[in-house]
Structure 1
Amino acid sequence: MSAESSKPVRCAIYTRKSTEHGLELEFNSLDAQREACEAYIKSQASQGWKVLPNRYDDPAFSGGNLARPALQQLLTDIDAGKVDVVVVYKIDRLTRSLADFAKLVEAFDAKSISFVAVTQQFNTTTSMGRLTLNVLLSFAQFERELSSERVRDKISASRRKGKWTGGTVPLGYRIKDKKLVVDPEEAETVRYIFKRYLDLKSFGRLVEDLDNKRIFTKRRETKVVKSQGGIPFTYGPLAYILKSRIYVGEIGHSGKWFDGEHEAIIDPAIFDQVQVQLATNGVERKFRRSESGALLMGKLYDDRGNRMSPSYSVKNGVRYRFYVSAALLRGRKSEAGSLARVSATLIETAVLDTIRQNAPADFEGTNSDVIDHTIERIRIGRERLAITFKETASTECATTVELPWSAIPSRNLTSIEEGYNSDRQPDQKLIETLARGYLWAGSLSDGTCTSIEQLAKSVRLHPNIIRQGLRAAFLAPDITEAILSGEQPGGLTSTRLLQIGELSWKKQREAFGAIRPD
């Protein structure tokens, strides 16, 4: 006998059961599968087959995917060269998916691993054997998909009858005899959430109120620590509760709602009032950069690492754009940075000015192109702004520029002497009007937009509003400086500023009640 033929063949037995039913028995399905495999291996003792002591058992795991701990351990041992033959009771114990089996065969072939199903004799070294294997797998996959369809049909029929068919148990209920029953303590929490939302009319104030009263999400017993609940509420869970018709005694399925067997917690009239308030407060917050003009989308972060997302508000027909910390949007104001909300026009202007001073002068393109190609990340605080430039051939590494910053610009500008109150603070709305006018004028002058109509479409405003806003870019320099330093003439408002009809700086000064010789 040669040395090669006397070498033992290491056999790994893999077993699997789809459900937990019967696993508590002293001799269960996994044991039966292993016993049959061991008997087959003993019949091949003359060929040197030996059973490995390691057990590769997957109890209560589906064969529809490869996400099984024992199977993954088996594949790891195969890669380590510890296995020569994989033995299973039936081929569907290994997998019920043709695609997954193709991956397993590829992994087996790469390590020259043989595969045996003890109740289904076939030889995979021949074309007929492979055909037989594929036919068996096709039927296994068909059986799995047929079972899934039956389960889905059963769930659908049960839901239409108002029965609870499993899933995450909502706050306010618990499971008894496979049915939803009201949990008195949690039900009071649900009623309080609905009532306080109608009182406060704001997710932000509601989150703060729940935090102060130490009201947390439903506590659950799960294997995954991250999913155990018992944490402070954020906007997402609150919105789910306030929109769920489960609390008015209904069960949902495929977008439709049916009368449920469980008891309602919320009066339908109160529920409808909440839906009206939610619809009233609904504001579109996410939109593409090209449509919103949010040049810094995806690049701006506060000084605690939270991404700043674009948002806006509309007042008197004028859109005011902002960047808001993600922590603030989630209702976690305490986790936001030192500057949780900033005017978009101010920060974008500051960034573009910094780029012009530090980026290569020969780079051409729109403002959006310039930011995309030069900026890696922007960190903003109440007093500091850090801009990280991308690595280039000339710099060979990313560079960061830090500079003083304030949400309300303070510049060493000459004030106008007559008609101005030096005790005033800068008017944020006036500054935003100026910044917006200069930004729009810049978009037209650098070719980002070729017409007022195109610019109006890009920022979703009427062209007349754009024409009106552009007037702020043609103010007399001393009036502009006075507004930035907070020394504008009394009675000058954003609305009045946009009503300017004169390009003559002298007439502008006369119109605003401050005459200064040219």
Structure 2
Amino acid sequence: MEDTRKIAIYSRKSKFTGKGESIGNQIELCKAGIRTAYSDISDDAILIFEDEGFSGGNTNRPQFQEMMKLCRKRKIKCIVCYRLDRISRNICDYTSMIEELNQLDISFISITEKFDTTSAIGRTMMNIASVFAQFERETIAERIRDNMLELAKDGRWLGGNTPTGYRSVETIGSITMDGRKRKARKLEIIPDEAKLIQLIFSKFLEFHSLTKTETYLIQNNYITKTGKYFSRFAIKGILMNPIYLKADEAAWNYFDTKEVEVFSDRNCFDGNHGVIAYNKTKQQTGHSNKVRDIKDWIIAVGKHEGIISGEDWCQTQKLLAQNKSKSYRKPRSNVALLSGLLFCGDCGSFMRPKLSQRINQDGEFIYDYLCELKEKSKRQKCSMKRINGNELDQAISNEIKKITSDESELLRILKKEAAHAQMRNTSHQKKILSLKRNKSYTECKIKNLIALLEKAEDTAAHKYILEEINTLDKAKIDIEAQIQEYEGMERVNALSDLEFEGLAKMLCSFADSFETMPLEQKRFTIKTFVRKIVWDGSQVHIYFLGNEDDKTDISQDALLEPQREGYK
């Protein structure tokens, strides 16, 4: 069976310079290499992916990711690049890509290094590269762990976000062989914040509940360093952090039981100094840090003073583990249309749907929207009235249908914006045409000067002609950069035209198709042109995208049914 998959050329350059290994040069060289490997290939069978202005430090590049998506869909049979570092300067990224291509039965060719996995030698080189990459990964991991153990000798604070309760201060570290003093950092207690940490631990030990601890802190106006109320997630992070733990007998026994590597001697657990855990988190570029299994930690006695006794800290870990084992994720209400869009007009918090077990006359479960802060604070920090979710969702749907008519203000604004985008596009096209004429004129002058250069060889004029050619070449490069910039703006405006047109069509067909849409599609459709919805206790305000002041109000009278007692 004939292989109809296409060949991909990938080119990358960190910034536009117009010299040397430009995107254009890379592509032409790759095409020449493809014709050597595939003599009967046509231009239609070649796909070109260009990433200009992107570093090779990682593979988070739009065109590279688009190419890999097509690879996973089995649309490509070979990837060709000018040089290996065009793919990535990170050998692990490169090796991961080669391994994936091998699984997908996709060949890889590098023009410069003559790396070609279509041949037996190329595949052997790939395997050798994989071995070295794996060796590098293991060597780096060992080196990092050795460094962690060296740091654990001093119990130093390595920096980063300082935990609540402490400040980071500079101190004198070790002394090198040549007598120089190395600077180090340690944690110093902030008394008021330390009292807050003690309070959080004591309340959790009292309530045995993160939710009740959160409510207590909100009700009593305790806030984080950033001025926000403590969330359950933040509270749990504090309770699990060993930085607050006093290095005492209970702490030693806890880590010994958990089979954690403790670098400090047992006699260092004096009940005064705190504990530092090295190798605690796994850090990945582009992803949030993940806490490693406790057996992978390296524990040492730090230079700082501990805040929580070993007995209380260990009891806290026990309670957290018990809560985790018996907890279950409560099913979320999947009937509320305005989740993530509705805000409290009093405190600005989200209003979350709260599902009841009652059913209305249409056979639907009744649900209300409740202010998140009101619920967490047990009504102490916000007193916003609930609102019937079934009625509000229907009222919002009806109101949005009105503004999607052909005569609506929203559609008029969209058409106006589309016209402005078209005007900008016309202006850009004129500028591009002018620049291209200048480029052609400059190229013509360069050709004429090159012809003169041959005749003026071994004369005084040769030097000046060469200088003029170089000047014109730089001018040509500047013109090409301007053309590229305006073409980019033209593409953006063209995309805007399509977006406006699509949105306008969506609005016109909205009223007819909305009721038959699945719930998730309804939410997506509303979020396309609604920025937020605010309930102020008597009116609902709909804010549309594009204008902070552009809003529609819905009063209580617009709701389908009378509110129940306490909701009016």
Which interval holds the TM-score relative to the shorter structure?
Answer: 0.3 to 0.5
Instruction: Please identify which structure carries the higher helix content.
Output: 2
Bigger-Rg structure (1/2): 1
TM-score by length of 1: 0.39
TM-score by length of 2: 0.36
